[in-house]
Amino acid sequence: MLFSYPELATLAGVQGVIVYALASALPLFVFSALGPIIRRKCPEGFVLTEWTRQRYGVIAALYLSFMTLVTLFLYMVAELSAIGQVVNALTGLDGLPVIIVECVITTIYTCMYCSGLVSRIRLGQCADLVMVIAMGGFKVSFITDNIQGAMVVGLIIIAAIAIGVETKIDTSLIGPSGLTQPSLLGWQLLYILPVAILTNDFFLSSFWLRTFASKTDRDLWIGISMAAGAILVIITMVGCTGLVAAWAGLWPGDDPENPIPGSIALFVLLEQLPSWVMGIVLVMSVTLSTAAFDSLQSAMVSTASNDLFRNRLGIWWIRLAVVLVIIPVVVIAIRAPSILQIFLISDLVSAATIPVLVIGLSDACYWWRGFEVVVGGLGGILTVFIFGTIYYDSALAGAQLILLEQGLYGDDWGAFGAFVAAPFGGLLWGFGALALRLAVQFLIARSRGERFDALDRPVYLSEEHDSAGTGYEGEAETTVLDRPGKGSGKFV
């Protein structure tokens, strides 16, 4: 947040700040809209992959689980890399010790379970608090998020007042900067960012855990509305620091041959402020990072335990595995050249996968199978390669476009085309896979002299609508999919 939003402000101006803030906050409402639907279809689930297994079968669920775990891994890398860079930028110190301390602390209260030991310790009034922390798991993550959220709001207010009082804006620089005018990049981001962030949010199990944990649908709407409002305000304020740095004459600096990178515009601004403000921002950064990192750890434990091992493996082994995963996360975090590039790769994968996945939420699309989901997801990525090869007239450039090596802020239509090719290409491949599957099933039925029933309405749909007084017409005696909550769906 402290790097990418100010950077975008220096590139796309006010337009970029507004688009990025809205694209970060509004997609959360998809959990309000789809969460109740998925909870009714999969009442015993707690992550998206559980519904996927029920609806599409084991193979599609494992495919989504793998993508989810990869996304969680990348987000953990990004969190640690970002906090390391913040510490280094604000203090000049090595950020590795802070990264290690954060990992140790969040692991203790998130992954550990020592209630039996703590129950024998007499700590007076502190006993209850220690007990809660030692219990570990996602409940503690809820508690710490509330505390950390309150701290962040207070710290944001203090930092905003300090910047407003101490920083002097040169109004003569506002017009020539061009940051108040719309730009090609700003218009491109109007499509890219909502697609990238919306679809990638589906891969974040921490969001789904909160969705399933809400007591009622009304509570879910209230919670997400509060979260979206807070995110919108905070991100807009942080993004505007890039504008302030430019209009205060601090960015891009006085050396045209070695301009200051836009990614550190906020820190260039902070250098002009009293040291206590830098301390507040440092505390805010650690608080935000810790709040996000413990949720990612809990989500990884839940996803691995439920999706990969179906809760047959002891939770201690899963927690131990997550602890071991943190080691490569730290190693990659201190070496990661571009966190934004890592996020963009994950966004492309999600943009290709999620559109073909959510089709199954509609009862009218009961004929949609896991085969179409997997083929569509992989086909969307292949479509990006095909587009890049044609656009750049080079197969190598097409492959590099999958990794978005030129970043998001290029001066061409490559990144925009990639985020168009991924979802729409995925849908084309998905429907192509549907046509292929139905053709093969039709030919098999004809060769065996059997009735072609691949498009028959499932029994459970007729039963559910009949019980509601709005029954379906058609062959209620046939069944294509297992009843939700009773079976494992079908891949083909």
Work out the mean pLDDT of the chain and round it to a whole number.
Answer: 83
The CATH code belonging to domain 4-336 is 1.20.1730.10
Does the pTM exceed 0.85? no
Over residues 141-168, mean pLDDT: 79
Could you tell me the pLDDT band of residue 306, with boundaries at 50, 70 and 90? confident
Q: How far apart are CA 329 and CA 331, in angstroms?
A: 6
For residue 482, the model assigns a pLDDT of 46
Domain ranges of the chain: 4-336, 339-455
Instruction: Reply yes or no on whether the pLDDT at 192 is more than 80.
Output: yes
Q: Specify the long-range contacts of residues 397-404, CB closer than 8 Å, at least 24 apart.
A: 402/345, 402/348, 403/341, 403/345, 404/341, 404/344, 404/345, 404/348
Could you tell me the pLDDT band of residue 128, with boundaries at 50, 70 and 90? very low
The first and second tokens of residue 123, run together, are 């700590």
Residue that wins the pLDDT comparison between 131 and 137:
137
Q: What is the pLDDT of residues 471-490, one digit of tens each?
A: 333 333 333 344 444 446 78
Q: Quick one: the chain helix, strand, coil %, rounded to 5?
A: 75, 0, 25
For residue 129, the model assigns a pLDDT of 33
Q: Label residue 62 exposed, middle or buried (CB < 10 Å: 0-12, 13-18, 19+).
A: middle
Over residues 399-426, mean pLDDT: 89
Instruction: Reply yes or no on whether the pLDDT at 270 is more than 70.
Output: yes
For residue 111, the model assigns a pLDDT of 59
Placement of tokens 């849908």 in the chain? 427
Instruction: Reply yes or no on whether the pLDDT at 85 is more than 90.
Output: no
Asked whether 489 and 55 are in contact (CB, 8 A), the reply is yes
Q: What is the DSSP letter of 308?
A: I
Residue that wins the pLDDT comparison between 84 and 339:
84
Over residues 37-64, mean pLDDT: 87
